[in-house]
Amino acid sequence: AVHSPHLLQLSGVGAAKSLLDKNIGVIADVPGVGKNLQDHPACLFASKSKPEFDSLSLTSEIYDKKNNIRPMAVLKYLFGRRGPLTSTGCDHGAFLDTTGRG
């Protein structure tokens, strides 16, 4: 979530000394708030494959080759809250060589 540690600290949840130094009343002394944060770099891109290759992506479970939504995807969601429409849509990942060494 965006700015969660900051909001927690403003609300009095965080390292007591740090909060008191900023004249914020301590609700809970939780020294780990705001520590060990990491960025999760990501990029979006689209690709196209030759028609003779089937896709293994979530998109192909939702849409057919003419970009019509597949009725089964809707039915799975409506009658069981399952299937591809329950996904966040982030179903791909890759490790890319950015060094140029192959």
pLDDT tens-digit profile of 14-46?
999 999 999 999 999 999 998 887 766 666 666
Does some domain include residue 22? yes
Does some domain include residue 96? no
The answer on 65 and 53 residing in a single domain is yes
Q: What is the number of structural domains in the chain? A: 2
Among the ranges given (35-39, 60-64, 76-80), the one the predictor scored with the smallest mean pLDDT? 35-39
The answer on 87 and 49 residing in a single domain is yes
Say which DSSP state 14 is in. Answer: E
pTM metric for this prediction: 0.41
